[in-house]
Structure 1
Amino acid sequence: MSKSFVTGFPRIGEQRELKFALESFWAGKTSFGEVEKVATELKKRHWNYQIDAKVDLISVNDFSYYDLMLDNIVTFGAIPPRFAGLSGYDLYFSMARGNANSVAMEMTKWFNTNYHYIVPELSRDVKFNLDSSKIVAEYKEAKEAGVKNAKINLIGPITFLALSKTTDGSNALDHLDALSSEYVKLIAELSKLDNEIIIQIDEPIFVTDRAAELASKIVPIYDTLASVADNVKIIFMTYFEHANEAVAQVVKSKIWAIGLDFVHAACQEEALKLLSNSDKVLFAGLIDGRNVWVSNLDAKAEIVNKIKAFIPDERLYIGTSCSLLHVPYTLKYEENLSIKEWLAFGVEKLTELRLLKKLVNGGDFCEIGSSLIEANRSAIASRKTSELINDINVQNRVKSLTKFDRDTAYEERIKIQKATFNLPELPTTTIGSFPQTPELRQVRNAYKKSLITKESYESEIKKYIDDCIKFQEECGLDVLVHGEPERNDMVEYFGEQLKGYAFSANGWVQSYGSRCVKPPLLFGDVSRPAPMTVDWITYAQSRTSKIMKGMLTGPVTILNWSFVRDDKPRSEIAKELALCIYDEIDDLQKAGIKIIQVDEAAFKEGYPLRKENIPAYEKFAVDCFKLSVCAANASTQIHTHMCYSEFNDIIKTIEAMDADVISIETARSGNELLKIFKSVGYKQEVGPGVYDIHSPRIPTVEEIAAQINALLEVLPKSQLWINPDCGLKTRKWPEVKPSLENMVKAVKIIRMS
């Protein structure tokens, strides 16, 4: 009979318990012991969920206080020199968040997800030094909690090094033998913990195009790891795409099993043929770990039957396509969600997995199981036929699209804009949001629950906007923002005003550290019934003589940061979203707003992991951005913002978007990203982030001035804007005010030099 597994489980807590414990500790209100207490309770609860669902292999070491890559850095002693002298949680959180003396380590997206990981920093002189204490302790903790069928999760050495950066131009992969030696020591220690030890080693780098260059490293490294102890079984785990190059090597190796994603790479016939002629066990990811729609269990069972034509039952585990980290915890708190029957969050996916295992293994269902299967079939059928899904007017408007470009070329637009705005060189601004204070959240929450009147709510929001404007004017910023006090989230806020969206009450997903987002649920054809931002932006503009930026989220980011219906091409859905932003820009400029920022923070995040799929994505992503902004007149300046990304491979695509100004996150990477813009002769203006907002530390005037001078080594003053590297929503005012004041002071120094 086929058995079941879960690749990994969320850790932030079903009601964000870990988030609140961490933030209380960071604020100095509680001890780290309180955080540890919460973590212990969460791990036990998460294991029990999986025990109750009869999962055959339950993950251990998928829990982290901040990030699993950061945990790997600590486990193998790859500590950057600037953190020397620190230890324990002081070291751990300083690397993640920075401290008074040292900037935090760089952070970027985990493949094409919205999860961020800490990027390892290596040099040719790095010396690895194993510390297995966290992993060993968690395994023992799981056994004491009743987990009899544990598998230990690790990030693999090849992926770890492939995702690392070096500070001296050396090649991180040159350390593969040295790092693998530490993995050998680790496996030797773990082998002593039980009669049989199963270790899931995640190597998702092999679902990317880098697999071609790295595949030859699998057999020598993993044969060594698989030979450490007779009682150790290794799963070579991949997810998010096909891993054909890796499969071709794994079948030659001593590795016990390989994990493949049958959701995002549904057709795996090449891999199955290779595996059928080997003795390898297959861990087939069938329950979608990245989306929230209920699984069609009958269709999943058909896929399993096709797999069984190649792989016998005794060599087959069925499970999640990736870690459930990427979906919300549970639907049990969702009392008013109209589309609830169409959804499955993390805990519900465990039930789906249990039912699927029963379906594919045969046998009779109990009464409860039978009713659950029928409920699944009913949900699949109702979703196909519901009138909530289809809007013929939206469909016809998309079909009739012909225009995607602005009427005036950039070279002409910029002349008109410079004459209109008369801004100083190195104009200063922010990315958009200001701190979301507890008081502000309370006001929004009270209004949402009808505890205060609309008049009281609007009065409080206007007061916050007034305070933001007053501070920005006193600080000396050149282009202002209204601070976004009315917005809970940069995607959810817009989704709430669009037809075709639904919203969870507790559907939180970890983005990084303690930061969580609550993606809206895009379930039907999308349209904009009314203006979404015009009233607040025009109010803000009426309170200042300086230029006020309109702030919108772009169509590709709304798409990538939503849980999107899986019954229609994403390219068509993106066009629907672009038309909503088009209408909003048209209304904003008619209301007198001269600069409009259309954030595409998740543009790069949506890129396919295989190059053969990239052209189609780039075409619809660029077309949809251009469609959304082509309503703008020549005198209306369009800004966009992109979060942590590697731009060298997409710089021509960014150029094709034809934004007037792009702001990017560069504070943790110096001016390296900016050099890419220079190398291609990028014409438009750029706002590289001059300080890191993800760290609570306050940068000095001298630091920011040095950063600006480094930027000026790459691009001229005439092409640069000065801003923080991201929105300030997650920071506190005592950090924000001096940081921005120092930024403006630094700019004034540079202007005079």
Structure 2
Amino acid sequence: MLTNNLGYPRIGSKRELKKACEQYWSGNSTIQELVQTGREIRKQNWEMQKEAGINLIPSNDFSFYDQVLDLSLTVGAIPKRYHEVILNKGNTELDLYFAMARGYQKDGLDITAMEMTKWFDTNYHYIVPEFLKDQQFKLFSTKLLDEYQESVRLGIKTKPVIIGPVSYLLLGKEKESGFDRIDLIRNLLPVYLELLKKLEEQHVEWVQFDEPFLSLDLTEKDRKAFKYVYAEIKKRFPRLKILLATYFGALQDNKELALSLPVHTLHIDLVRSPEQLKEILADIPAYMGLSLGLVDGRNIWKNDFDASLTLIKSAADKIGHDRLMISPSCSLIHSPCDLELETNEAVLSAEIKQWLSFARQKIDEVAVLNELALNIKTAIPKLKANKIANESRKSSDLIHNNAVKQRVAGITVEDDQRKNTFAVRQQLQKQALNLPLFPTTTIGSFPQTQEVRSWRAKYKKGDLSAEEYNELIKKETEETIRFQEDAGIDVLVHGEFERNDMVEYFGEQLAGFTFTKNGWVQSYGSRCVKPPVIYGDVYRPLPMTVKWSAFAQSLTNKWVKGMLTGPVTILQWSFVRNDQPRSETCTQIALAIRDEVVDLEKAGIKIIQIDEPAIREGLPLRKSDWQDYLQWAVRAFRISASGVKDDTQIHTHMCYSEFNDIIQNISDMDADVITIECSRSQMELLDAFANFKYPNEIGPGVYDIHSPRVPAKEEMVFLLQKAQKVIPSAQLWVNPDCGLKTRHWDETKKALIEMVSAAKVLREYVEEAVTL
């Protein structure tokens, strides 16, 4: 029986990669220094896994930005707009790579970044491959080969990991009509075969192909592509051991397909779907091994060794130990790095810490499960300790609050409905708010400079008193209000300078949450988040945002939005307790947010934004499971938003989502205004709203805040005119596509001034049209 890992966090236990990338992007370090940081992280990861007893250690799971983008570069799927970046001899391959991820605005060039979206139902973002009808592929980058050689030089023979060709195509997007991207499989496969030949020449034994789409609904054409690809690979490389990794769900109707593929070993996710093991064991062919995904790669709770050992025994009894591997359920990039870094009991109590397991500890859990399954006696004390920790969690007084449970049970139909329809509310809001056509606003946050972050750090350390800290935040808030007034923005925000993260900030003030000091997880590129841990019943002890929203409103005669994170997003972007249904936890959070919304209205805040960027990412991977999720997710949002009067305007924000297939559910949320990401997709996402005849108001993002480039007014006017063709002018708002927290002030000011100018141009066009 082998121990196997599918992937390990690449950010470094102290976010070394984030810091190195940002230093390079800002021009404060060399590419050699950046590359060296990557080399050191890989070395540490490989050596740690070897020492822990992992037999199949992954390579090519490291990335400077995103593994899907890595593959696009590897197979030469480089959109034509970046070719001028390639031709500039001063640019390296990494510069081209970062241009594709972040955009490029120098050397007289102004090139937009590639689209970004969520990786299945996680909070990780990947760079979406772009495909043309005649798309050609060629081996462009040798990263996969180079990192394998690097591991061998360290004396560690790794297992190269690569996204399978079928999943890679399905992750992408057709950039012109008239073809299905899966039809490109015959163009793409030769590059994979070339890579495998080079790996075979280097005496690679194992290669891991990630094919997560085997856990999703597939077309017949997709199924044929799977059969074609893996038959060709087996024919060309009969001695190469292919580990085919599926995760995030059960194979279900793809079970027969997966078990028919000529691969050495199939990996299945037994955390998301333990029940699939019995069906797979009944039909698994004699030539195929099985990798059991037993350790949760997406959550932070300690493994239940007894439950895992039961699954291992049932598998071993059927096919024997020799055909089994013990593994995490998926790559550990979705887990924080190391629980041992959590040494501050004031942040994370010892009682709760004993229930947790981060990536480093999950590696140990895989090794210990292997020892226990093989009856190695030295592992028995670890089994006893595991039982004690899990029993402690079940019996702890920290977990349950009867008052919260009773309030959830007492929710009525009226609690998730606004008093009147949107048509009635819209007229009342127009009278109360008196906003112009194409009202301008931002999504909420403004740049959090190093100085602002240092205030928060000093305050937490006690180097700043509460009074000193509050005065600094007040000053920054007032300056931001004044800038927005001077720029001519119509609906202002307070800037959120007192907030660390849009989920963490609320979790810190809600009961049932706890936090970590170093529990960072990559969200995209250099962006890392530190998800809260929901361990018990949730409620709001005190108001959370009223003080700063009311202060900002007192500074101006313009309207200031109250800014909240919605219940589904708080749930999705936290590590959630696994001892009750997620729907129950989400409803508890919804009631807490509802209390905050009501208090904001009482404080004179007439526009309140409840961000729900994670609504779509929470969708189950199978469409047959969608309705149950959407029913409780939409209901949770409505509970949070429905305690206010009709003339109070409720906004919500969603980013990086395809809306076509859930547009009715988005409408059912009944937000007065929805702001969405549209700039990278060139307003394509608006088609869903237009086709549906979405009745409420919409703010399609007119510039991409995830790129440092500053778009010109004309570019935003062009996008707004595209929006006007499908959405009535009376329904359109003008805004960036996301919050501005990670941007710099200089680019932010320039971009927002251009945005306001673009809105004015649109108003002039409408006025001229009316006059004519």
**Structure 1 residue aligned with 2:392:** 382
* SS of aligned partner of 1:153: strand
Deviation at 1:593, TM superposition (A): 0.3
* SS of aligned partner of 2:315: helix
Task: Give the distance between the partners of 1:109 and 1:122, measured in 2 at CA.
Answer: 18
**Structure 1 residue aligned with 2:72:** 73
Compared CA separation, residues 472 and 132, structure 1 to 2 (3 A): closer
Deviation at 1:455, TM superposition (A): 0.5
Q: Tell me the amino acid that sits aligned with residue 396 of structure 2.
A: S
Q: Tell me the amino acid that sits aligned with residue 188 of structure 2.
A: L
| Aligned 8 A contact 2:103 2:114 in 1 | yes
**Structure 2 residue aligned with 1:620:** 632
Deviation at 1:413, TM superposition (A): 0.6
Q: Does the alignment pair 1:394 with 2:404?
A: yes
Task: Give the distance between the partners of 1:696 and 1:86, measured in 2 at CA.
Answer: 16
**Structure 1 residue aligned with 2:156:** 147
Task: Give the distance between the partners of 1:197 and 1:180, measured in 2 at CA.
Answer: 20
**Structure 1 residue aligned with 2:725:** 713
Compared CA separation, residues 184 and 246, structure 1 to 2 (3 A): farther
Shifted more, 241-250 versus 388-397: the winner is: 241-250
Shifted more, 595-604 versus 248-257: the winner is: 248-257
Deviation at 1:252, TM superposition (A): 2.8
Q: Tell me the amino acid that sits aligned with residue 134 of structure 1.
A: K
Equivalent runs, 1:367-446 vs 2, <5 Å:
369-402=379-412, 403-446=415-458
Q: Does the alignment pair 1:518 with 2:530?
A: yes
Task: Give the distance between the partners of 1:145 and 1:462, measured in 2 at CA.
Answer: 53
Q: Does the alignment pair 1:722 with 2:727?
A: no
Q: Does the alignment pair 1:23 with 2:33?
A: no
Q: Does the alignment pair 1:318 with 2:330?
A: no
Equivalent runs, 1:666-681 vs 2, <5 Å:
666-681=678-693
Task: Give the distance between the partners of 2:306 and 2:501, measured in 1 at CA.
Answer: 36
**Structure 2 residue aligned with 1:356:** 369
Task: Give the distance between the partners of 2:238 and 2:403, measured in 1 at CA.
Answer: 64
- Of 326, 347, 355, which residue of structure 2 is paired with 1:342? 355
Task: Give the distance between the partners of 1:570 and 1:107, measured in 2 at CA.
Answer: 27
Task: Give the distance between the partners of 1:131 and 1:536, measured in 2 at CA.
Answer: 51
Q: Deviations over 1:407-444 (max 9, x none)?
A: 11111111100111110000000000001100000001
Counting aligned pairs with the same residue, the percent is: 47
TM-score between both structures, scaled by the size of structure 2: 0.95
Deviation at 1:271, TM superposition (A): 4.2
**Structure 2 residue aligned with 1:542:** 554
* SS of aligned partner of 1:500: strand
Task: Give the distance between the partners of 1:132 and 1:27, measured in 2 at CA.
Answer: 25
- Of 112, 134, 144, which residue of structure 2 is paired with 1:103? 112
Task: Give the distance between the partners of 1:681 and 1:742, measured in 2 at CA.
Answer: 29
Task: Give the distance between the partners of 1:97 and 1:463, measured in 2 at CA.
Answer: 32
Q: Deviations over 1:224-277 (max 9, x none)?
A: 012223431111111000124443124333211111100001111464245434
Structure 1 residue ranges (4+ consecutive) displaced by more than 6 angstroms after TM superposition: none
**Structure 1 residue aligned with 2:235:** 227
* SS of aligned partner of 2:685: helix
**Structure 2 residue aligned with 1:59:** 58
| Aligned 8 A contact 1:211 1:245 in 2 | no
TM-score between both structures, scaled by the size of structure 1: 0.98
Deviation at 1:583, TM superposition (A): 0.4
Task: Give the distance between the partners of 2:618 and 2:573, measured in 1 at CA.
Answer: 9
Q: Deviations over 1:166-214 (max 9, x none)?
A: 21113211110110111111111110001x4211011111111126652
Task: Give the distance between the partners of 1:455 and 1:684, measured in 2 at CA.
Answer: 42
Q: Tell me the amino acid that sits aligned with residue 379 of structure 1.
A: A
Q: Deviations over 1:356-381 (max 9, x none)?
A: 1111111211xxx4443322111101
Deviation at 1:671, TM superposition (A): 1.9
**Structure 2 residue aligned with 1:610:** 622
Q: Deviations over 1:531-562 (max 9, x none)?
A: 00000000000000000000000000000000
* SS of aligned partner of 1:210: coil
* SS of aligned partner of 2:84: coil
- Of 463, 478, 486, which residue of structure 2 is paired with 1:451? 463
Q: Tell me the amino acid that sits aligned with residue 205 of structure 1.
A: F
Unaligned runs of 5+ in 1: none
Q: Deviations over 1:94-129 (max 9, x none)?
A: 000001110000000000000000000110122111
* SS of aligned partner of 1:735: helix
**Structure 2 residue aligned with 1:37:** 36
| Aligned 8 A contact 1:191 1:231 in 2 | no
Q: Tell me the amino acid that sits aligned with residue 198 of structure 2.
A: E
| Aligned 8 A contact 2:259 2:284 in 1 | no
Q: Deviations over 1:395-416 (max 9, x none)?
A: 1111111121111111111110
Q: Deviations over 1:27-85 (max 9, x none)?
A: 00000110111111100000111111100100011111111111111110011000013
Q: Tell me the amino acid that sits aligned with residue 358 of structure 1.
A: E
Task: Give the distance between the partners of 1:32 and 1:89, measured in 2 at CA.
Answer: 8
**Structure 2 residue aligned with 1:646:** 658
Task: Give the distance between the partners of 1:32 and 1:132, measured in 2 at CA.
Answer: 17
- Of 481, 506, 511, which residue of structure 2 is paired with 1:499? 511
Task: Give the distance between the partners of 2:322 and 2:81, measured in 1 at CA.
Answer: 50
Q: Tell me the amino acid that sits aligned with residue 99 of structure 2.
A: S
Task: Give the distance between the partners of 2:589 and 2:421, measured in 1 at CA.
Answer: 24
Task: Give the distance between the partners of 2:166 and 2:704, measured in 1 at CA.
Answer: 29
| Aligned 8 A contact 1:276 1:310 in 2 | no
* SS of aligned partner of 1:84: helix
- Of 586, 599, 603, which residue of structure 1 is paired with 2:611? 599
**Structure 1 residue aligned with 2:97:** 92
Task: Give the distance between the partners of 2:565 and 2:734, measured in 1 at CA.
Answer: 21
**Structure 2 residue aligned with 1:116:** 125
Q: Deviations over 1:118-152 (max 9, x none)?
A: 0001101221111352111100111112213x211
* SS of aligned partner of 1:501: strand
Task: Give the distance between the partners of 2:404 and 2:762, measured in 1 at CA.
Answer: 50
**Structure 2 residue aligned with 1:137:** 146
Q: Tell me the amino acid that sits aligned with residue 468 of structure 1.
A: T
Task: Give the distance between the partners of 1:131 and 1:702, measured in 2 at CA.
Answer: 35
Task: Give the distance between the partners of 2:742 and 2:154, measured in 1 at CA.
Answer: 35
Aligned length: 747
| Aligned 8 A contact 2:214 2:258 in 1 | no
Task: Give the distance between the partners of 2:460 and 2:153, measured in 1 at CA.
Answer: 44
* SS of aligned partner of 2:354: helix
Task: Give the distance between the partners of 2:332 and 2:318, measured in 1 at CA.
Answer: 27
**Structure 1 residue aligned with 2:497:** 485
Q: Tell me the amino acid that sits aligned with residue 461 of structure 1.
A: I
Compared CA separation, residues 114 and 434, structure 1 to 2 (3 A): same
Compared CA separation, residues 288 and 527, structure 1 to 2 (3 A): same
Task: Give the distance between the partners of 1:363 and 1:375, measured in 2 at CA.
Answer: 16
Q: Does the alignment pair 1:179 with 2:195?
A: no
Q: Tell me the amino acid that sits aligned with residue 30 of structure 1.
A: S
**Structure 2 residue aligned with 1:218:** 226
* SS of aligned partner of 2:750: helix
Deviation at 1:392, TM superposition (A): 0.9
| Aligned 8 A contact 1:206 1:215 in 2 | no
Q: Tell me the amino acid that sits aligned with residue 322 of structure 1.
A: C
* SS of aligned partner of 1:178: helix
Deviation at 1:449, TM superposition (A): 1.3
**Structure 2 residue aligned with 1:307:** 315
Task: Give the distance between the partners of 1:230 and 1:396, measured in 2 at CA.
Answer: 61
| Aligned 8 A contact 2:75 2:191 in 1 | yes
